[in-house]
Amino acid sequence: MSPSSATLTPSSRPRTATRSRRPRRSRDLWLGVTGVLIVLAGAETLSRTGIVNPDFLPPVTEMYASLFEMLGEGWFWEALWLTVRGWAIGLAAAMALGIVVGFVIGSSAFLRKFTNSTIEFLRPIPSVALIPLVILIFGTQPQSAFVLVVYAAFWQVLVQVLYGVADVDPVARDTARSYHFGPIRIARSVVYPTALPYIMTAFRLGAAVALILEITAELVIGVDGLGRELGVAQSSGAVPETYALVIVIGFIGVAVNLLVRLIERKALWWHPSVRSEQS
Amino acid sequence: MTRYFKQAGYALGLPVILLTGWWVASAGSTNPFWPPLSTILEAFPTTWTMDRIVGDVLPSLARLGIGFGIAVVLGIVLGTAIGLSPTLRALSEPVLEFFRAVPPPVLVPIIALFAGYTGWLGKIITIALGCLWPILLNTVEGVRGLDPTLTDTAKSYRLSPWRRLVFVILPGASPRIFTGARQSLSIGVILMVISELFGANRGLGAAIVQFQRTFAIPQMWTGVILLGVIGVLLAMLFRLAENRMLAWYVGQRQIERGA
């Protein structure tokens, strides 16, 4: 967008934006595809020429052959469903809890000071420290994974939301106060827009950490899901299948990130980091 | 003087309440999984002797430090480059998107194929790879989210690219970089423990799981607490570094708040 377009009437602005954006979009798409092809071709070459031992790194084509074979099998879809379900439930619980607690604590100076030391103590306790505990209590039941996922993702979300609430422009807040905005209105029209980018970051990070912990629980504890299948494939020496499962798990993560980004773009269209891409 | 008392009260109030609650609630506990807090504390000095600290705790921390350090350097360098160049961003985005989305514990079996998992190398690679993405991502976001006025001003003053990098871009992105590094540190601690669950018999994580497998429950609890304390100390160390290096940002915020 040229500087003069800022003075255009709102109705004509979107049209200008889409027109200038389309060539760039398709160029970005092609660049992205090129990047992926370079990596795939590189890995295939390394393996086929024996620069890297093919026992360690099978050709990419073999990995995908094994992947497509898995797509036809029932256990795969069962495991995929269990992993995604465990991840989604845990993340949803952590997000809800983190946002509510974050807004409540963040909006009161007293609560912030009162809970700060406790949060700072509990947050860095690595969720994996709880692994022995959940094994004792729940064994290989899905609850083991749920506890780990919620514990890990909750702190990520809470800390981001607290950062976000603390990042509110004091002038804006004071202005709202002198206009006698009530606490709910301040939360909605001053705190929420400031905190929204942080909440989106929290969602993204929380989603990643939740997936890490869900897979870890499956891999280490033996909760049913893709992680457990990965452990089985690895210990039985099925290298292409191991890679195929890693790729599938990676794609779950990619799908999640794309979804988050879509929501982010819709929710943060006014933010400089999103807008500068369209200029 | 009263101000310090007040601050101490704020810092210690809730922890004291919670600890007292735990102590009272667990006092007469006969449940083997939830031993009384007093039993756990008694087991602490006999469990974590000098021998164990040197043999298990310090190597774990050293691996974490090396892996995290590699991730910080790589993350800032790559993140700045990607954040500055839209072409590079478009080229690398799908690939990075994929590698970032792979949960690091999944790489353990694969890293084990290449580097073996009994030594330090595999564990350090695991930690570094896991820590890299939050720093990289935040650096990219920080560089992208720079105030356009700042970058435009730097451009119209014809600052050389190098000076723009050192005086405008990196400082401008540094609050986000620190946010990323903070996230990475907690992922690093997670990976430090996980990496020891695979094929290692020494290290902090390995020791805790050993206690759990032999049903040495109070000892296991001391391990969980020790991990927590280490996490807190690392976070404090990080805070110290952040306050020093982001002094201008923290100060600016405080002035704006009128504190």
Residue-wise pLDDT tens digits, A80-121: 999 999 999 999 999 999 988 988 888 777 888 788 778 877
Residue B22 counted as domain residue: no
Contact residues, chain B, for A56 at CB < 8 Å: 113-114
Q: Work out the average pLDDT over A27-42.
A: 84
Residue B29 counted as domain residue: no
Find the residue in A nearest to B11 (Cα).
Answer: A117
Residue A160 counted as domain residue: yes
Round to whole Å and give the CA distance between A15 and A21. 10
CA dihedral (B141, A191, A107, B240) in degrees, to 10, reads 20
Average pLDDT, chain A: 80
Domain with B235 in it: 48-257
Please tell me if residue B245 touches chain A, with a CB cutoff of 8 Å: no
Residue A165: count of CB within 10 angstroms of its CB: 22
Higher pLDDT, A274 or B61: B61
Q: Work out the average pLDDT over B48-77.
A: 88
Looking at the structure, do residues A197 and A134 belong to the same domain, yes or no?
Answer: yes
Here the ipTM equals 0.73
Give residues 10 to 39 of B whose Cβ lies within 8 Å of A: 10-15, 18, 33
Round to whole Å and give the CA distance between B168 and B165. 6
Residue B152 counted as domain residue: yes
Contact residues, chain A, for B188 at CB < 8 Å: none
Looking at the structure, do residues A78 and A192 belong to the same domain, yes or no?
Answer: yes
Residue B125 corresponds to which tokens in the numbers above?
Answer: 């690679």
Please tell me if residue B94 touches chain A, with a CB cutoff of 8 Å: yes
Sign of CA dihedral B13, B17, B20, B22: negative
pTM of the prediction?
0.76
Looking at the structure, do residues A79 and A176 belong to the same domain, yes or no?
Answer: yes
Please tell me if residue B183 touches chain A, with a CB cutoff of 8 Å: yes
CB contact (8 A) between residue B179 and residue A39: no
Q: Between helices B170-197 and B247-257, what is the axis angle to 10°?
A: 110
> Quick one: which of B85, B127, B98, B73 has its CA closest to A247?
B98
CA distance B146 to chain A (A): 8
Looking at the structure, do residues A141 and A214 belong to the same domain, yes or no?
Answer: yes
Residue B104 corresponds to which tokens in the numbers above?
Answer: 């690091």
Nearest by CB to residue B189, choosing from A115, A126, A230, is: A126
Residue B59: count of CB within 10 angstroms of its CB: 17
Give chain B's domain count. Answer: 1
**DSSP-assigned letter for residue A10:** T
Domain with A52 in it: 22-57
Residue A8 counted as domain residue: no
CA distance A34 to chain B (A): 7
Looking at the structure, do residues A136 and A266 belong to the same domain, yes or no?
Answer: yes
Give residues 230 to 259 of A whose Cβ lies within 8 Å of B: 230-231, 234, 239, 242-243, 245-246, 249-254, 256-258
Give exposure, A104-134, as e/b (b: 16+ Cβ within 10 Å).
Answer: ebbeeeeebbbbebbbbbbbbbbbbbbbbbb
How far is it between the farthest Cα atoms of chain B? 73
Q: Work out the average pLDDT over A234-262.
A: 84
Query: Residue A160 belongs to a domain with what CATH number?
Result: 1.10.3720.10
Round to whole Å and give the CA distance between B125 and B104. 10
Round to whole Å and give the CA distance between A86 and A75. 16
**DSSP-assigned letter for residue A220:** I
Residue B42 counted as domain residue: no
Measuring CA to CA, how many Å separate A239 from each of A63, A222, A223, A231? 9, 20, 22, 11
Query: Residue B64 belongs to a domain with what CATH number?
Result: 1.10.3720.10
3-state secondary structure at position A12? coil
Q: How confident is the model at residue A277 (pLDDT cuts 50, 70, 90)?
A: low
Give chain A's domain count. Answer: 2
> Quick one: which of B178, B173, B171, B175 has its CA closest to B235?
B178
pLDDT digits (tens, 9 = 90+) for B7-32: 777 777 777 888 888 888 777 777 77
Contact residues, chain A, for B108 at CB < 8 Å: 219
> Quick one: which of A193, A212, A6 has its CA closest to B183?
A212
Please tell me if residue B235 touches chain A, with a CB cutoff of 8 Å: yes
